[in-house]
Amino acid sequence: MNDINFQFAMYNPITDTVEVNIGAGTVLFIHCKNYNSTVMFDNPNDIVYLYYLAKEQPLTYAKFALSGTGLQDYVDAMNWFNY
């Protein structure tokens, strides 16, 4: 997914999606529930890390979600920094 031209993203709480403009009138929809369900949490409450990221930094969420192990690595890093 390194060749995608990420231009703008926003979180839509109604549909629980990150909507990413990837150029030329093309929008990519990332369904957070589906992507978040692939992450293994040490504590179930750690899902808040992903929803905060989607809401506050949707472009970063999209880039992590579309990388190989990005969302898992992000949650693992947040746990490491917070413990």
pLDDT digits (tens, 9 = 90+) for 10-28: 999 999 999 999 888 889 9
Q: What is the pLDDT of residues 56-66, one digit of tens each?
A: 999 999 999 99
Residue with tokens 């693992």: 76
Q: What is the pLDDT of residues 42-58, one digit of tens each?
A: 889 999 999 999 999 99
pTM, 2 dp: 0.86
Q: Rounded to an integer, what distance in angstroms lies between the CA atom of residue 65 and that of residue 75?
A: 11
Tokens standing for residue 7: 């231009």
Say which DSSP state 67 is in. S
Q: Rounded to an integer, what distance in angstroms lies between the CA atom of residue 7 and that of residue 37?
A: 26
Q: What backbone phi and psi angles, to 5 degrees, belong to 57? A: -140, 65
Domain coordinates of the chain in residue numbers?
Answer: 8-82
CA 45 vs CA 34, 39, 79: distances in Å: 17, 12, 11
Residue with tokens 């909507």: 19
